[in-house]
Amino acid sequence: MAKRIGIADTTFATYDMAKTAVQAINDSGEQVIIVRYTVPGIKDLPVAAKKLVEEENCDIALALGMVGRDPIDAQCAHEASNGIITAQLMSNKHILGVFVHMTEANDDADLRELCRDRTVKHALNALALLIGKDALRPFAGQGRRQGRDHVGPIPE
């Protein structure tokens, strides 16, 4: 039976992260079923992701959100992140919180690339986690980053 990946995204984001995640998953060649759930903003992502894993029987979920530039937005992202952690613990399933803070980017082109890179890398991480708990082990301690170039391990 095909594994199921839930993708929760928001209307607040100015980049379609879910479309990018779906494309990355489809390009991987893995046979999975993708279930989407779109909500208004990042504080709505925890319940959407929890519903994906519990009600839609997804094996893993991506919670894709964009964080605005104002200080209140960073606070909302923190609260949403806490909610995602709680949803993971309540469901005993991985929910990868994939947030892009607009303050991370220098301009629109940088923001677009940041969204694309972080989303693709986390979509691939989700696929790896579906394989099993050891699938990412070869990359432990390797300074891998989502959204920017990998930094590599500390030199010996």
Structure tokens belonging to residue 107: 């301009």
Domain that holds residue 19: 3-139
Is position 104 within any domain? yes
Is residue 45 predicted with pLDDT exceeding 90? yes
The mean per-residue pLDDT over the stretch 136-147 comes to 95
Both ends of the chain: CA-CA distance in Å? 44
33, 2, 57, 30: which is closest to 125 by C-alpha? 30
CATH of the domain at 69: 3.40.50.960
d(CA 140, CA 125): 13
Angle between helices 108-131 and 17-28 (to 10 degrees): 40
Structure tokens belonging to residue 139: 């990359």
Structure tokens belonging to residue 153: 């391990």
Is position 85 within any domain? yes
Is residue 140 predicted with pLDDT exceeding 90? yes
Is position 152 within any domain? no
Number of domains in the chain: 1
Is position 146 within any domain? no
Q: What is the pTM of this model?
A: 0.95
Is residue 1 predicted with pLDDT exceeding 90? no
Is position 39 within any domain? yes
Residue with tokens 């301690």: 141
Structure tokens belonging to residue 146: 């989502």
Is residue 25 predicted with pLDDT exceeding 90? yes
What are the pLDDT digits (tens) for 59-79?
999 999 999 999 999 999 999
Is position 92 within any domain? yes
Is position 148 within any domain? no
64, 39, 49, 68: which is closest to 116 by C-alpha? 64
